[in-house]
Structure 1
Amino acid sequence: MMADFGLTRTDHKGVVLNEARVGAVSLAFTERTGGVSEPPFRSLNLGAHVGDDPAAVAENRRRALAALGCADLADRLLVPNQVHGDAVARVRAGDAAELARVRKEIAAGADAIVCTAPRVPVLLNFADCVPVILACDTGFAVVHSGWKGTIAAIAGKAARVLAETAGVSTGDLVAFVGPHITADAYEVSDELIGRFHARFGAVVPPEGATRLLDLGGCIRAALEEAGVSAARIVDPDLSTVRENDRFFSYRAEHGRCGRHGALAVLSA
């Protein structure tokens, strides 16, 4: 982790955020406490498609936004339909027509949103896949990177799109890798290891050497390929499996659980 940037773990009346600020961007990875959902979604479940009470999810999202300091922006919140692809949506303005256009686009499926519009919060949801937030002084990207998105290098793609949209270099970006299933708990097939080794080389041992896949290492490699400096990639090694008391884990909870979030907003 670089000295100038990092995540601070803060308790906001029970809602715990691992948060940071880059320029005018406030960003955070939520934990599972401080909400109103009942088991098996207890308690700050932010996912609307897991079987939880919709009213509970809405209240949990309101609490998460309040913890980030933007409770008044709930009606402007963007939450994409995550489909394990590499589509990146862009938000350049916060007027009603633009928000309606983006909502239609992300309902069809998107796994990253780049935003340079003030006062438009963005939320993506997770329970083992890797959340990535990219930020510069005037914009951000929130990225969902499961294994399909990781092998497609969606984080690197989002970095390039954010840099282009914000008018900066990818070297100006800071990347934050959030809680996810880490290599010590993520066993996959030899065939999948082989595919990742072919894409990421020495980052992933060759087929037959191990069945443990390091998604975080692959994402860091993809970000560096896109021009993000290794010194500006923050990865605190938060494990959804080892720290299942703090974060939801689809694998550890046998497929029935809530979703924590990656959340960001640009100040006016």
Structure 2
Amino acid sequence: MALPDSLPAPHLTARRFGARRLLLLTDEALFECAGVRIAFTGREGGKSSGPYSSLNLGSHVDDDPAAVEANRAILLDALGAGDTRLIVPNQVHGDTIVRIDDTASAALDAACRRAADGVDAVAVAVEGVAALLCFADCVPVIVVSPSGRFAVVHAGWRGAVENIAGKTVRLLVEADRSDGAYGDAGAFNVYVGPHIHAECFETGADVRARFAARFGTSCICDELHVDLLEALRVGLVEAGAARDRIVDAGACTKCAPDRYFSYRASGGTCGRHGAIAFRKTR
């Protein structure tokens, strides 16, 4: 598949995938144009039980490890990526990004070790490698360039304040330019998955002050709440992304704990849904 000169305008629509009919949010036009499959998962269709029921993708929440591995395999198979190398980082609520620019086994193993040390974004420039990050209220972000590079980002409130999403956009721009092509963040598609929305994201005064200082008062809703999406938008636009190419899933995890995992709604014991992306092999 030849790389496109531009990407279709971003859209998120619900579609069922695979034998287990997983309901995922994706952009089919992006996949058809650039070969990049992006998806945000929900709770249904997996093997986990109890508070992790059922498609828990997080391995750090005391779920049965065998069930988590089965759930990840179910997801990859549903997306037609059963033979894809999967990178799942240890997320630490920071702003560190790991790059994957080589499919050689040694390079991938080294990237996996860096991811295990703790990162909150994975930027991929190659085919046949999938990045999966896990969530239960924090903000999932997927960025795609016309070059075929993409990144999956975990923006907890600390990462959001550090503008990890904007930092990732800048990294992709630099990587594109190093290839002598593309390099325009305004042409990127940015997808924001289900996360805790402003009406449910109550914070302390110190957190609100940090957001206001970094992103301005547009992300401060009132004396209790912060709009993470607006803060991310401000940071992404600062990095060169076009506001009209940032699309939000429109789903609040705390308001829909039957469809998505929510740390706050569950009282702290729950599974993790995911954001995943890969580029199919030509």
CA contact (8 A) 1:25 1:136 kept: no
- Of residues 116, 140, 145, the one that matches 1:131 is 140
User: 1:1-268 maps to which residues of 2 (within 5 A)?
Assistant: 4-12=9-17, 13-21=20-28, 22=30, 23-73=34-84, 76-137=85-146, 138-167=148-177, 168-205=183-220, 209-268=222-281
What is the SS of the residue equivalent to 1:216?
A: helix
CA contact (8 A) 1:79 1:123 kept: yes
How far 1:14 sits from its partner (Å)? 3.0
What is the SS of the residue equivalent to 1:255?
A: coil
Q: Aligned partners of 2:36 and 2:128: how far apart in 1?
A: 10
Q: Aligned partners of 2:95 and 2:9: how far apart in 1?
A: 30
CA contact (8 A) 1:14 1:33 kept: no
What is the SS of the residue equivalent to 2:216?
A: helix
What is the SS of the residue equivalent to 2:9?
A: coil
One-letter amino acid of the structure 2 residue matched with residue 254 of structure 1:
G
Tell me whether 184-193 or 142-151 shows the greater mean CA deviation: 184-193
| Structure 1 gaps, min length 5 | none
Deviations 1:137-159 (A, max 9, x none): 31100000000000000000001
Query: TM-score, normalization: structure 2?
Result: 0.90
What is the SS of the residue equivalent to 2:25?
A: strand
What is the SS of the residue equivalent to 2:249?
A: coil
| Structure 2 gaps, min length 5 | 1-7, 178-182
What is the SS of the residue equivalent to 1:72?
A: coil
One-letter amino acid of the structure 2 residue matched with residue 146 of structure 1:
G
Q: What's the % identity of the aligned pairs? A: 44
What is the SS of the residue equivalent to 2:217?
A: helix
What is the SS of the residue equivalent to 2:52?
A: coil
How far 1:213 sits from its partner (Å)? 1.0
What is the SS of the residue equivalent to 2:51?
A: coil
CA contact (8 A) 1:116 1:166 kept: no
One-letter amino acid of the structure 2 residue matched with residue 34 of structure 1:
G
CA contact (8 A) 2:212 2:219 kept: yes
Q: Aligned partners of 2:162 and 2:12: how far apart in 1?
A: 26
Q: Aligned partners of 2:267 and 2:21: how far apart in 1?
A: 26
How far 1:201 sits from its partner (Å)? 0.8
Q: Aligned partners of 1:4 and 1:190: how far apart in 2?
A: 37
Deviations 1:92-116 (A, max 9, x none): 0111011011011111110001101
How far 1:67 sits from its partner (Å)? 2.0
- Write out the 4+ residue segments of structure 1 that deviate beyond 2 Å after TM superposition: none
What is the SS of the residue equivalent to 2:39?
A: strand
Q: Aligned partners of 1:34 and 1:181: how far apart in 2?
A: 22
What is the SS of the residue equivalent to 1:234?
A: strand
What is the number of residues matched between the two proteins? 262
CA contact (8 A) 1:132 1:176 kept: yes
How far 1:225 sits from its partner (Å)? 0.5
